[in-house]
Amino acid sequence: MPDIPGTSALTQLFQEERSQGEATWFSLPGGATLFETGEPADHLYFLRTGRLGAFRRSENGELEFMGVIRPGEPAGEMSLISGAPHSGTVIALRDSEIFALPSDVFFEACESDAHVMTELARLMILRSRQAETKASIGEPSVFGFLAASPGLQVRAIADRIGREIGKLGYSVKVVGAEASQASTGWFSEIEQRTDFVLYAAEAEDGGWRTVVGRQVDRLFWVGDGEASSPSVPPIQAPLAAQGLVDLILVQPRLRRAPRRSQAWVDVLRPARVFQLHRDGAADVKRIARVIAGQSVGLVLSGGGARAYAHVGAIKALQERGVPIDFVGGVSMGAIIGAGLAMGWDEPELEARIRDAFVATSPLDDIALPLLAMTRGDKVRERLAKHFGDTQISDLWLPFFCVSSNLTTGSYEIHKSGLLREALRATISLPGVLPPATNAEDNVLVDGAVMKNFPADLMRLSHLGPIVGVDVSRGRSITADDVARPESVWRWIRTGDWRKGPPIVSLLMRAATVSTGRDLAAAREATDVLVTPDLTGVEIRDWSAFEPAVEAGYRATLEALDKLKHPVTELRRRPSMHESEAIETKAAQ
């Protein structure tokens, strides 16, 4: 039976109990589950080698990655001490060796040696503080890059990414096939003394590809964006089941939008898709921020015409040099976020929003209200005009939007498929626009009905800081907005009918009111919360572009001015050098 490295009270406890036959040792293959949420906490586990990942289930059943458990650390200690079932699921990210100590043996040891409980309590307090301060200590630190197309020179790409991570203040080691014969101890040593390790394998690297696929915390497939699908057979990666495998598509032409990403997604099923210009420094920096936990996610709420404020928020973020690496939104927030993900600069974004919504109302194709008050033809035509046949996977930035699935009674996250169809679903306000349907014949309506501010959904796939712009807060609708017009003819003659009848305001506001629970979850996931003052901007006044944009711009600048650190560093994990300095200072 192998030895347990380390000299702490916990490691000594496991050494002693192992020698007495109380602690059991076993191997857990990559992808296997150590324990599930809800199972009784009857053992304290200790990781000797490998990596474990902690996960919890989101509202719709998806696994949400919480952090990494590294060699020398325990697992399941909080539930064991509290006497409650496990609150999360722990899965082996790679082949791991684990020691297990029964709960009764552990508590007997605590009675005879107070240092054991003291050390465990210190670790639990540290992890709790990290969660409260949104620190990034438990994030992955070992990443793999595997070629899915020949001739890409993946090692060179990893080198470029590594240099950018180094500029963020971390130590980085990039390793290629020269380490294919290295021992397990060599891998453990380099991973323990370096902030980030990047393993790179070319298409022809044979067995090294398999090693990389089983040796990392998170994996990137790297493919040729002009190819229709992988030409190198993908290996079986244990991380795929946990949503920890991503795709980087190298695009050789700066001015041509990606076109074939969906075929790659259908084959590899990645959790996220990143587009990388072959010579684009900005994209390399983005992936470096993603790895270092400093990428920025932007979440935009729904809110009818009030969502114009998002255009001002984006302008303020860009003026202050805040990078936007991920985008998510609901309803009109999704429309504006999709434009950003398309790669539209500020003038183009403003011009297209004006053309699609401001110049003429998108909701004046009034219909006999069998399903809705409008036919929805104008909205459908404008989405097709501005977004064409773009697939979500072909966007320059990772993007998602949310609709409400009335068939299943839960929200629907759109991360792939035809962009305009996803946008048509997320803005299908019940009673105003006819509902959309999907391939399973489910009925989809405006995402604001169930999840108007999905910052918590952004957190499922993004570990860095989140900027959220919520235009649904504050005083929004008054008695005047829902008053019956004194004269129908005057209402028609003045053109006010193009906004839709007052019931539209009522329906739109009713759909965008978040519950206290949803708002609390969204605020918890948000690092910078922007709530523009949109008093005076009526939710169906599609001509109120300038005041809404200005409100969003001012509110975002005010929120940024209150920060003590740049947005990218709000969840910064300390480097090993910084951690050692903090520990030394604390000891003094």
Which sequence positions are flagged as catalytic?
A: 331, 446
Please state the length of the chain.
588
d(CA 323, CA 308): 20
Neighbouring CB atoms inside 10 A of 6's CB total: 15
> Which residues sit opposite 273 in a β-bridge?
247
Distant-in-sequence, close-in-space partners of 71: CB < 8 Å, separation ≥ 6: 5, 47, 48, 49, 50, 51, 188, 192
Neighbour-count burial of 82, counting CB atoms closer than 10 A to its CB (0-12 exposed, 13-18 middle, 19+ buried): exposed
Amino acid at 311: V
Question: What does each C-alpha distance from 351 to 69, 257, 303, 345 come to in angstroms?
Answer: 48, 20, 20, 10
408: its two tokens: 């299943």
Cα 586 from Cα 588, distance rounded (Å)? 5
- For 250, the enclosing helix (H) or strand (E) is strand 245-251
Quick one: which of 394, 410, 405, 461 has its CA closest to 428?
Answer: 405
Alpha-carbon torsion, ordered 495, 352, 312, 539, to 10 deg: 30
The runs of H, that is alpha helices, within 320-408 are 331-341, 346-353, 377-387
CA–CA separation, 310 and 550 (whole Å): 10
Place of tokens 């709790």: 128
- Largest pairwise CA distance in the chain: 92
